[in-house]
Amino acid sequence: MTKEKSYEVGLRKIRGNSGQVMFLTVVVLGVVISSVTMIAGLLMSYQLRRSADVSHSGRAIFAADAGAECMLYRMFNLGEDGANAENGCNAEGIKSNFENKASFKIKKSEESWEGGIPKKFISTGTYGTSVRTIEINLPQF
């Protein structure tokens, strides 16, 4: 049988393996603090990514709005029917690709009112990974 070393300190008796408990406590606390720090860093990176996505989303929605404005302008100010207005807005000559790398695409519905005005159309704006859509429902005039 092995005899354990012990020391008398004041009223307490200290055994020789008490350093193992302290070492184990320090290791466990280190792991807990490291884990909490890593989780906090991960959450911070998610927040940074979401703030960048908000900027991308804003650019995409403004591009979709520009596409809707183009379609409405061509139909009601230039007097084009829905098909010509759609083709005109989606044409390469028009500024559907902006300097900030945003773009829009127009798609009209197959149903139309008299005079070739579509009952609705969809303008889709894109920037980076964000895609935003505006749907315009036109009443009969």
Confidence of residue 113 (pLDDT cuts 50, 70, 90): confident
In a domain, 14, yes or no: no
In a domain, 2, yes or no: no
In a domain, 17, yes or no: no
Are 119 and 109 in contact, with CB atoms under 8 Å apart? yes
In a domain, 9, yes or no: no
Q: Is 66 exposed, middle or buried (0-12, 13-18, 19+ CB in 10 A)?
A: buried
Q: Give the count of domains, the chain.
A: 1
In a domain, 35, yes or no: no
The pLDDT assigned to 61 comes to 93
Predicted structure pTM score? 0.61
In a domain, 28, yes or no: no
| Cα→Cα distances 36→6, 40, 47, 96, Å | 38, 6, 17, 47
In a domain, 118, yes or no: yes
Confidence of residue 7 (pLDDT cuts 50, 70, 90): low
> 121 lies in which domain range?
52-137
- Does the pLDDT of residue 6 top 60, yes or no? no
HEC states along the chain? CCCCCEEEECCEEEECCHHHHHHHHHHHHHHHHHHHHHHHHHHHHHHHHHHHHHHHHHHHHHHHHHHHHHHHHHHHCCCCCHHHHHHHHHCCCCCCECCCCCEEEEEECCCECHHHCECEEEEEEEECCEEEEEEEECCCC
Each residue of 79-109: pLDDT tens digit? 888 888 888 888 755 666 777 888 899 998 8
Each residue of 33-87: pLDDT tens digit? 999 999 999 999 888 877 777 888 999 999 999 989 988 898 888 888 888 888 8
* Cα–Cα distance for residue pair 139/70, rounded to 1 Å: 18
Confidence of residue 133 (pLDDT cuts 50, 70, 90): very high
Instruction: Look up residue 88 and give its two tokens.
Output: 């005109």
Each residue of 9-29: pLDDT tens digit? 565 665 566 678 888 899 999
- Does the pLDDT of residue 121 top 60, yes or no? yes
